[in-house]
Amino acid sequence: MEIPMLAPICLIENSPAGELRVQQEALRVLAEISQPVVVVAIAGLYRTGKSYLMNKLAGKRTGFSLGSTIQSHTKGIWMWCLPHPRRAGHTLVLLDTEGLGDVEKGDTKNDTWIFALAVLLSSTLVYNSLGTISQQAMDQLHYVTELTERIKVKAAGEGSQQEGENSAEFVRFFPAFVWAVRDFTLQLELDGREITEDEYLENGLKLKPGSSRRAQLHNLPRECIRQFFPARKCFVFVQPAGRRDLPRLEELQEDELEPEFREQVARFCRHVWETSKPKTIPGGHVVTGAMLGTLAVTYVDAIRSGAVPCMESAVLALAQMENSAAVGEAMAVYEEQLAQRAALPKESVQELLELHAQCEREALRAFMARAFKDDDRSFQGELMRRLEEQKQELCRRNELASSDRCTATLLELWDEMDNRIGQGVYLVPGGYQHFQDDRQRMVERYRQVLGKGVKAKEVLQEFLQSKEDVAQSILQTDEALTEKEKEMAAERARAEAAEREQEVLKQKEAELQQKLEDQDRSYQENLRQLETKLEDERKKLLEEQGKMMDQKLKEQAALLQEGFREEAGRLESEIRHLQQQNEEIRKPSWIQSALGMLGDVASLVLPGFFGKAAGAITYLIQRLF
């Protein structure tokens, strides 16, 4: 996006009836953002100062509406897209969500959906609360405990929630978590020693032993945060100004705010800017603005229909759109490359095929860079088919350009002979030999002309054949020749024509063979680039799995240290599952099966691939002999 947004706009409207709707204006803005997006969402109770922090992340004093009353001011989810202050070539997307727990609205289900959308769309989620990380604060974060009821990872039949989705599956999709504690008045101390903000958070997330109802209520939100948000950070903020000045916070100058608060806000902003990663979907695929808009529509449509948003289904729907766009982008790259290099006609089919191969290579690179989850290789197959059609069209255009050039050259060279024929120069004794000599000189001059292209022999053959009646007429009127000599001359003319025809057929056979061999080259290029892409995807996937494994082991160690052996044991199955997945990903078959599928697709979309055009070659050979 060349021009940053001057102010936030509504991304998801929340009507008074509690109906969610994605706004078209916001989708148009996102559609223009082809850069990776770093999406920071903020959620929390209403009137806790969320919008102020978002304005600071935007580097502005005003923007998101702060409001100055006890009413919730932000409705739905508002969006602000700006150039990222730390990551060149990235866009920072800030999402300010409607305050949760608004007593006037009184709809906790609607609140939960707002919270769930903030989780689903962001790469960093800031949870904003007042006072301390107390049991009350945890109780207010009950939205976290409802996430597994409101969101599912896999579609039915693919390991649905009823079959037990573990937290590792959710972590693949979930953002990093930052807890911002506002108006904090306590000392950061524990058992007489100074602690960090992160230690304060981890202490607040400690579980209570026992199986009583009270222990379960205490532990549930903490377990959810620990499981779903293994990447956690905490910031505490003192009250920014005196109580009388708080209602006009956005009007206050920096020097009117508490110095400690200013320093805390600066640290918070630096952390978010420097550590928040681009929004990705499982497998490490980076989300652009346009993709973010598609995800928002997919999730909101699911909610509106009464369904539970399925993250995997949303990713698959996104993949369908992105892969289709990737095919279109690849074809545009092909045509752009061709326009830069193609000056037709080319002298040989081989030269033309080399030009096609160069353009195809760049088109494939563009496709591979954008496409993802093309598991059945259908989109890559579609690209192969369209590039093959482009090659055939390129060959047709090359032949047409060559034919036009050759025909124009022959007509120009023949013009002098045509004048002589009209003047009767050859209608004299010995005229046929004179005609033959002049015609041979014309052919030699034609052959010396450069840039005629692939149709040079065929057009010459057709042209000479078209003038054979004239040649025969001159031959028959030449009184210097006997009938037998005329017969012999006619036979020689037929033999020469047949020899030229044979040369043309041999050339066509060789060109067809080159085109069929080029299909194999094209397949090998597709195979090579796909293998490179799959190796890169495997590396990213193993890195993703490794991080999840480390987080699970860390959580397991913490549970054991706190004495929760049963809970640590439950994590063991998730850790084993991750290990099994890693083993499968490392197997050669993980890549080989995908490459094999590409071969099946190629045999369908490349007409001559795997020997399917052998009949055409046989037919040509039969014609030659």
d(CA 157, CA 178): 34
- Residue 54, Cα to own-chain centre: how many angstroms? 29
Output the CA–CA distances (angstroms, integers) from residue 479 to 5, 24, 430, 467, 468, in the order listed.
92, 89, 7, 21, 19
Q: How confident is the model at residue 66 (pLDDT cuts 50, 70, 90)?
A: low
- What pLDDT shows up at residue 615? 40
- Domain of 66, CATH number, reads 3.40.50.300
**Cα-based distances in Å from 272 to 39, 285, 384:** 10, 21, 43
In a domain, 159, yes or no: yes
Q: What is the pLDDT of residue 154?
A: 79
Reduce the DSSP state of residue 80 to 3 states and report it: strand
Report the sign of the C-alpha dihedral through residues 301, 304, 305, 311, in that order. positive
Residue 132 corresponds to which tokens in the numbers above?
Answer: 């301390």
Identify which has the larger pLDDT, 211 or 80. Answer: 80
pLDDT band at 610 (very low <50, low <70, confident <90, very high): low
Residue 593 lies in a domain: no
Q: Is the model's pLDDT at 329 over the cut of 70?
A: yes
Does residue 88 carry a pLDDT above 70?
yes
Report the pLDDT value the prediction gives residue 162, as an integer from 0 to 100. 42
| Phi and psi angles of residue 454, each rounded to the nearest 5 degrees, phi first | -75, -15
Is the pLDDT at 289 greater than 90, yes or no? yes
Task: Report the C-alpha gap between 35 and 417 in whole angstroms.
Answer: 65
Q: Is the pLDDT of residue 141 over 90?
A: no
Asked if pLDDT for residue 440 goes beyond 90, the answer is: yes
The pLDDT of residue 431 is 93
pLDDT digits (tens, 9 = 90+) for 232-267: 999 999 998 887 777 677 677 888 889 999 999 999
Q: Which residues contact 322 (CB under 8 A, 6 or more apart)?
A: 291, 370, 371, 372
Let me know if residue 299 belongs to a domain: yes
Q: Determine the pLDDT at residue 346.
A: 92
Write down the pLDDT at residue 250: 65
pLDDT at 613 over 60: no
pLDDT value for 165? 62
The verdict on residue 140 lying in a domain is yes
pLDDT given at position 157: 52
pLDDT over 90 percentage in the chain: 61
| Position 71, amino acid | Q
How many separate domains does the chain show?
Answer: 1
For residue 113, which of 151, 155, 166 has the smallest C-alpha distance? 151
Task: Return the percentage of the chain with pLDDT > 70, whole number.
Answer: 91
Give the C-alpha separation, 369 to 374, whole Å. 12
pLDDT at 109: 78
Residue 562 lies in a domain: no
Q: Which of 163, 205, 200, 170 is nearest to 184 (CA)?
A: 200
pTM for the predicted model, two decimal places:
0.82
The domain of 275 spans 9-203+231-309
Examine residue 620 and state whether it is found in any structural domain, yes or no: no
Distance, CA of 347 to chain centre: 38
- Say if residues 144 and 181 touch (Cβ distance below 8 Å): no
pLDDT of residue 365: 97
Instruction: Give yes or no for a contact between 8 and 63, defined as CB atoms under 8 angstroms apart.
Output: yes
Give the pLDDT confidence of 117-131 residue by residue, as tens digits.
Answer: 999 999 999 999 999
Q: Hey, what are 38's tokens?
A: 């770093």
Cα 313 to Cα 426: distance, rounded to the nearest angstrom: 82
Report whether the peptide linkage leading into residue 345 is cis, meaning its omega lies within 30 degrees of zero: yes
- Region 501-518 average pLDDT: 93
C-alpha span between 555 and 572 (Å, rounded): 11
- 166-218 pLDDT, tens per residue? 677 888 889 999 999 999 988 999 988 999 999 999 999 999 998 899 898 88
The 8-class DSSP code of residue 364 comes to H
Mean of the per-residue pLDDT values of the chain: 88
Residue 490 placed within a domain: no
The mean pLDDT value for 452-459 works out to 95
Sorting pLDDT into bands at 50, 70 and 90, what band is 104?
low
**Is 279 within a domain?**
yes
Phi, psi of 177 (to 5 degrees): -120, 125
- pLDDT digits 0-9 by tens, 37-56: 999 999 988 767 788 899 99
